[in-house]
Structure 1
Amino acid sequence: MTKQKKQRKNKFHKKVSLTNRLIFLFFLFAILFILIFPELGITKFPMRHSDQTSPEKYVKKQLKILSTTLPEPVVIKNGPRNTKNISITFDADMTYSMLDMLRSGTVKSWYNKPVKEYLHKEHVKFTVFLTGLWVRTYPKEAREIAQDPLVEIGNHSYSHPAFTTNCFGLPKIEREFAENEVESAQKIIIKETGIVPKIFRFPGGCYENIDVETITKLGLKIIHWDVVGEDAFNDNPNSIAENIKKGTQNGSIIVLHLNNGTFAPKTYDALIQVIPYLKGKGYRFVKISELLSNNKIEPSFGQDFLIR
């Protein structure tokens, strides 16, 4: 081999060696970059609830996020009185005794599905306060309700106990267990529906100031009402309808039940009278969050405040 050929061969090997070194250094740098700055090296996409490897961790994270921004310790009875917006709300109650009645066959169902179907057909927005036991009993139905764009979901405790004495015959929960009662409902609602409730309603509407503070510390806004349909254990749909017609005004929050059975047998029959009537009066049905969004309202406990 001539001297000239040897020189060309040596130059070629040097170029290859240099190229290999550069490639190696590039990959080494890339690996180090990703290790040091993972948030810049890899694009992360939000994971859906169904993608989580641990639903328990997901629920715990959502509860922690909710408790970081605390609302004012007040009970909201109505929205602003200067607009025709109103909210119709339904409590999906479930106590342990109601669960026993269902299991024994004493009642067929504690879910009044025709109510939801009618409101959906009429394009009426509404809010449902779910108890944890109801969600545990009807997980599929709870998901269907939560996925309806016309519906907002709230927390109504786990087993619908009384927070005070003499509350419609409901069994009273000891104060030290009250927080766990609400958190248990929050956990199962999030787990089964993927929705994080931000509003709460006391069972029976019974509470004391200390209960208001307890719920507020969990990051939940407390929703009461100013119009009672009185559909519980009421066999007269006309009286239920009249209660709502007479009581409703601008900003009203109407309370009814989504239970059916012996508990609220005539809610649907009353609704088919009430909805056309209220629409005819020019009222607009909105979710609770829409009713209160960026509007000053009148609390029943504490100072005037602005809903954020």
Structure 2
Amino acid sequence: MSKTTSIILILCIILVFTYISPLHAYACPLCFDASDDPIGLGAITGAQAFYSTLSSNRIETIKQDIINRYGHYSPQQWGENVDGVRTRIDTEDKIIALTFDACGQGGFSNGYDKQLIDFLIKHQIPATLFISGRWIGSNPSIFKELAQNPIFDIANHGYRHSPLSINGRSAYGIKGTTSIGEVVDEILLNEQKILNITGKKPRYFRSGTAFYDEVAVKIANELGYEVINYNVLGDAGATFTREQVRQATLSATSGSIILFHMNRPETDIADGIIDAIPELIKRGFRFVKLEEYHQKLAPRKPTVDNYFLHTVARGDSLWAIATRFGTTVQKIQNMNQLKTTVLNVGQRLQVPVKDPSLLVAPVEVNHRIARGDSLWRISNMYGANLNSIYQRNNLNQHSILQVGQRVIVPIEAIHVVSSGDTLWHISIRYGVSLQQIYQRNNLSPQSIIRIGQRIIVPPNPISW
């Protein structure tokens, strides 16, 4: 060995043991020892090589390193859409990613929906399967068979199927991990179980219940995972009926990630999916595994307030509009990407709705569905006609709403006829067409209106 080579080796050793953290040291390609490759993964290097040969000692080393670096963090977020979680594919391509959870909480949760999986295999519909360590323990031979099928990618659903928290938060009555060490265990112990059977480290992680704090998400990222949730809830925790599953599935758009369960054969999930898939194919969609669009995985789009469109009139200013509708100039500027306060007559502005009572009917509101919303609740919130909401959005009383979905709410004006009024005068006053008034009130050009009669004036439908 030359003197130069010896010096380089000594320097490498010093760097590894005195500067680089244990996690990064193991990820160094120069430090990979083929003797640590019992399952024949010598073709991969770096972090992949390290993670493909997890042992209990190495898990403890990683755990201590993560604790040292994240122990001072205090989480500020808790939920399904915290910072770092990917919920969609940012593309206009007509693709949909089907993802299926296998939870393994005991009882029905340990099941296997053979009808569903057989359908996917028969029609060669690719999917990403999020499998927990508990489910693998109950179904080892089935898991091995699924892992060997090239239309499926295996993803990590946690060792114990716990919500991922560094301080013991719970979700849906399921207690989360209670410390940074437990977060690492929840991820890596299941990774180890999957590695032992498949020889491949998963790339994606979803926690039990899909709840996280943002620190736990950072830790998952450190361990080499993208954290994946969804933007279409396919079966609502295996509670949807067949028709609800079908409707939820058909609500998918380009780049949707749908969450289903593959461990509940006693439910209608399989039938609902089997009903919906052919229709989506007819619409031109194809199905992909997450890895095919890995570079385009994205967080949920920034939430836009409920808003309406205001047409700038002579004398309007941002301050006057903001004051009139109970919002701020800054919010209006942000929503409309305005770099100046100068407005033009006829310009249309998105104005956030803070107080529905300040709206001037007739007007349409673009409402974002929040958790707990129903169309009945929305109609009451805005004083809108429920049937008009159904008709405007092509919905009915059985329609399933998704969090984040946009619903157009037509808020109608009531005009009380006074002396001298005609339907033409009313249409001019409110800026709507005579035909709209005829249709909404079941009238015709020959209809006679009387003083005191109440005329419903619908808003002009807007192309949002």
TM-score computed with the length of structure 1 as normaliser: 0.68
Name the SS of the counterpart of 1:129 in structure 2.
strand
Structure 2 CA distance for aligned equivalents of residues 108 and 162 of structure 1 = 16
Structure 2 CA distance for aligned equivalents of residues 255 and 290 of structure 1 = 17
**Contact preservation (8 Å) 2:52, 2:201:** no
TM-aligned CA distance change 1:226 to 1:60, over 3 Å: same
Deviations 1:48-88 (A, max 9, x none): 83899xxx996328x89xx9xxxxx8211111231111100
Deviations 1:252-300 (A, max 9, x none): 00000011155xx1111111111101111111100001122x43x5325
Match of 1:49 in 2: 39
- Structure 2 unaligned regions, length at least 5: 1-33, 43-49, 63-82, 303-464
Deviation of residue 111 (structure 1)? Answer: 1.1
1:74 counterpart (76, 84, 107): 84
Deviation of residue 241 (structure 1)? Answer: 1.0
Match of 1:298 in 2: 298
- Spell out the pairing of 1:242-261 with structure 2 (5 A cutoff): 242-246=247-251, 248-261=252-265
Match of 1:198 in 2: 203
CA RMSD between the two structures? 3.0
User: Which one-letter code corresponds to 2:175 in the other structure?
Assistant: P
Give the structure with the higher percent helix: 1
User: Which one-letter code corresponds to 2:93 in the other structure?
Assistant: T
Structure 2 CA distance for aligned equivalents of residues 77 and 254 of structure 1 = 9
Deviations 1:142-165 (A, max 9, x none): 111111111111101011112253
Match of 1:120 in 2: 121
Name the SS of the counterpart of 2:53 in structure 1.
helix
User: Which one-letter code corresponds to 2:39 in the other structure?
Assistant: H
TM-aligned CA distance change 1:282 to 1:178, over 3 Å: same
Match of 1:241 in 2: 246
Relative CO higher for 1 or 2, CA cutoff 8 Å, sep ≥ 6?
1
Deviation of residue 116 (structure 1)? Answer: 1.1
**Contact preservation (8 Å) 1:81, 1:251:** yes
Match of 1:87 in 2: 97
Report the identity percentage: 25
User: Which one-letter code corresponds to 1:298 in the other structure?
Assistant: A
Deviations 1:122-169 (A, max 9, x none): 110100001011112211111111111111111010111122534111
Match of 1:270 in 2: 272
**Contact preservation (8 Å) 1:231, 1:266:** no
Structure 2 CA distance for aligned equivalents of residues 86 and 301 of structure 1 = 17
Structure 1 CA distance for aligned equivalents of residues 110 and 157 of structure 2 = 19
**Contact preservation (8 Å) 1:86, 1:291:** no
Match of 1:217 in 2: 222
Deviations 1:199-233 (A, max 9, x none): 11122121111111111111111111100012534
- Structure 1 unaligned regions, length at least 5: 1-43, 68-72, 102-106, 303-308
146-155 vs 164-173, which moves further: 164-173
TM-aligned CA distance change 1:233 to 1:86, over 3 Å: closer
Match of 1:186 in 2: 191
User: Which one-letter code corresponds to 2:153 in the other structure?
Assistant: E
Structure 1 CA distance for aligned equivalents of residues 52 and 254 of structure 2 = 39
2:288 counterpart (281, 286, 289): 286
User: Which one-letter code corresponds to 1:148 in the other structure?
Assistant: N
Name the SS of the counterpart of 1:192 in structure 2.
helix
